[in-house]
Structure 1
Amino acid sequence: MSAADEILDVVDERDRVTGQAPRGQVYAQGLRHRAVFVQARDGAGRVFVHRRTPTKLVFPSLYDMFVGGVVGTGESYDDAALREAREELGVPGLPRPAFLFKFLYDDGAGRTWWSAVYEVHCELPVDPQTEEVDWHDFLSEAEIERRLTEWEWVPDGLTAYRRLRGLRG
């Protein structure tokens, strides 16, 4: 099964399930769904940053300071966060990410999803999925701030990052 065929829950403005549809249809029709964002930090507190592969269905070749993805039909946000972090970081023994907050992402151009933001500490060596990650490194907050204007970032991840930064002051 391709990523476009994966079945997702379609949700309303209050995050209530209203139906299901294949991911490709969800994206093509701008149907609201669910996603998770996991900020992974190493032992020094640096953040895992990566560039997405050019084959990604959404935001190909852009940089992101979160790992994550869509929540599958019937899957909880917590389970999706753990699954996505383990898959994308390539760390099977990763601890369960800690939930931080949830918000509705809507770019006004047909991309809208409920976004649950998590954090996980990853002290084990990472081995990211080559089909998901083109480049990666752990960067300090100062380095990320310097790169915000230099690199093209995924817009939903950038929104989540700014909200998280605002919460932390």
Structure 2
Amino acid sequence: MSAADEILDIVDENDQVIGQSPRGEAYARGLRHRCVFIQARDAADRLFVHRRTPTKLVFPSLYDMFVGGVVGAGESYDEAALREAEEELGVTGLPRPSFLFKFLYDSGAAAGSWWSAVYEVRCDLPVRPQAEEVAWHDFLPDDEVERRLGEWEWVPDGLAAYERLKAHRAAGQRAR
């Protein structure tokens, strides 16, 4: 089955399932669905960053600071987060990613909107990213990622998740 044929749950503005659709149709019609974003860090606390392959259905050849993807029909966010992290990093036995928060991303275009659950995970295993998903990858320190924000073209939903994650962490620091 191709990625475009994968069945997704279609959800409303409250993230309640209202139907199902093949992924390609959901994208083409801008139907609201679910996605997971997992921030992966290595033992040195560097962030996994990659450039997507040119064959990706959405945001081909752009950089991303998350691994992740769509949540399949009937799949939970938690299940999708572990599956996507292991698939994209090319590892097995990864710890279950920790849920941080969820937000509704609106592309502002025909692509529509999607509920986005943000997670984090520590990956101390050697990574072997999927060649069909990842054209380039590295673990980068936070200051280098921040420098690259203005230099590289990033996936817009990942960038939105990254900015929300920085605000989420800052709010957590202020609450202490």
TM-score (norm 2): 0.95
Query: Superposition pairs for residues 114-125 of structure 1, below 5 Å?
Result: 114-125=115-126
Partner of 1:42: 42
Partner of 1:130: 131
Partner of 1:61: 61
Q: Is 2:163 the counterpart of 1:162?
A: yes
Q: C-alpha distance in 2, partners of 1:91/1:55? A: 22
Partner of 2:20: 20
Q: C-alpha distance in 1, partners of 2:20/2:41? A: 33
Query: Superposition pairs for residues 56-135 of structure 1, below 5 Å?
Result: 56-110=56-110, 111-135=112-136
Partner of 1:147: 148
Q: C-alpha distance in 1, partners of 2:69/2:107? A: 17
Amino acid at match of 1:149: G
Give secondary structure in 2 for the equivalent of 1:82: helix
Q: C-alpha distance in 2, partners of 1:9/1:106? A: 17
Q: C-alpha distance in 1, partners of 2:28/2:122? A: 35
Q: C-alpha distance in 1, partners of 2:125/2:83? A: 16
Runs of 5+ in structure 1 lacking a partner? none
Q: C-alpha distance in 2, partners of 1:115/1:71? A: 10
Could you report, residue by residue, the CA deviation over 1:84-117 in whole angstroms, capped at 9, with x for unpaired residues?
0000001111110000000000022133100000
What is the Cα deviation at residue 50 of structure 1?
A: 0.2
User: How many residues in Structure 1 have an aligned counterpart in Structure 2?
Assistant: 169
TM-score (norm 1): 0.99
Give secondary structure in 1 for the equivalent of 2:59: coil
Give secondary structure in 2 for the equivalent of 1:34: strand
Could you report, residue by residue, the CA deviation over 1:67-87 in whole angstroms, capped at 9, with x for unpaired residues?
000000000000000000000
Q: C-alpha distance in 2, partners of 1:103/1:2? A: 28
Give the 4+ runs in structure 1 shifted more than 2 A: none
Q: C-alpha distance in 1, partners of 2:9/2:168? A: 29
Q: C-alpha distance in 2, partners of 1:105/1:122? A: 26
Give secondary structure in 1 for the equivalent of 2:161: helix
What is the Cα deviation at residue 167 of structure 1?
A: 1.3
What is the Cα deviation at residue 168 of structure 1?
A: 1.4
Q: C-alpha distance in 2, partners of 1:73/1:155? A: 24
